[in-house]
Structure 1
């Protein structure tokens, strides 16, 4: 837009309009119809784009239109005057129509307890959605939260872009819940997704018989529990899930096999069987050789959409012409297997979660010995907003 400098004979002086000078005998500038209509149309386009009806008698329309249009790209603030789940705020200048991308801020007066709406300046309430485009969960907004919302014309809804102090920041770690005993998992308010780690109990090792003056005894280590990781959303989990934590595989009594570890599970969604125990076989005489199997792992875990794997076999015990070495217990992703010992060394249980117990050994004339227990399973839940 500019003065009509290209139109000849209209009487611009120094590029601008002038009045007629009667005394000096100089004519005033002319306003070409094309230029005048163009200027008027350009101004009317601004007024109409703001949703206003042009009026000859209203000299404030251009200013009002500029203010309304500018609100689609500015961040206006007002205090919430509504109630929990029904957020309202009055802005100056007033918001009279919703435009895609309109961004507003308000200070919440109350925490939300579930699905919520927002209405500026008395307009019809529209759903207030999370960035995941789902209804708000409890406590995503708390009293005093500084909230930033943006209107989406495509969804005819407001999106909660940010809420200080609440659980609305997408992807934020909310809590970590570790179940070392069976129970019930109830999601933390605002949880949208969880990372679940599940490991079964580790297997125990076998105990050995009393040895005569010509015998040796040895056992292999217990296997580790199976392991799974899963990323699950709030809809899949629901209001709660039953948690089962696999018990540790018990140590074998004298001359007896150990016990397998128990299965750990996150409801019916993720399951990790326990590791197998090492079996008791028999004593070996001097000069003889023996290989004493470690525990075998349970079935491959199920339900993990990140990883499903079986445990690891316990190491075998070995006797070679007399000298013996018990098998080590298998380690799990969350625990360390017990150490196999030789000739009366201390028993070594699995540590952490899901690891197998270490095997035991005895020499001639030593009494029978119990094996080592595996480590219990666990279910660990990382909750994210």
Structure 2
């Protein structure tokens, strides 16, 4: 459907109908019967698609028809909530993450009662005497009264590491086969439940000193607990991630309210060359009878109206969508700039 551009002498101006203007000598446009019938048929076709019986005394039937068509192709709020609930249930968990951001301390929060399920990576080893290149960290030996500087620096600096997984679940719904899908290689990380049996007492020829374990520099638990207590907001969030996977839209989820706290990506910066600088095509001269804003976006404009003798008699300014025709009875001159 379009304006009757092909009808001879229809009198369109800039492709649209105009009223007669005796002051300027502008004749009014014709509205041909074929065009009027076409417009009516277009509307009747919409009413028919929505099974609405046409009534010439009612003026809201097109709105009613569109509402019926939209309602027939959309999910209700209850249907949507049900679908989302089924999606979470398919993995058997409510949430997954890394305790204090440590890759060695993964966990699940189960759908059944919301219980925390501690996990462990499947690639750990269990025989101290036969292990080559033995670790030099306290966590590797289960020593509880001291922390290494390297380990704790990692915890303090790698909190953002909780964002390195894109999915977590249970293979085929089996609670004994948890997994992470990581953004880094190898991608799929198979896990193990933290309550599997690995007794430190069963290791043979265990050293009896820190030096025997190869541990060189340590902090006491009391000292490190003091450092952890000073961490700003260490316990104030329950999760962090990217909105819809967009790395330019990071967020935290607040513990107290559960609200999403939007963050700014570190790359979102502006310079004197980029901030609020007009560019080609976004600052334009307006002239015509009537002037038309460029297509796209939102524009602020100012114009002055002139009569046929070139004498200004008025004007206006405002904000309008791109492509808008600005009203005038004769000729206008002004400027516009894109603001969105």
Question: What TM-score does the superposition give when structure 1 sets the normalisation length?
Answer: 0.27
TM-score under structure 2 length normalisation: 0.29
Larger radius of gyration: 1
RCO comparison, higher one (Cα < 8 Å, 6+): 1
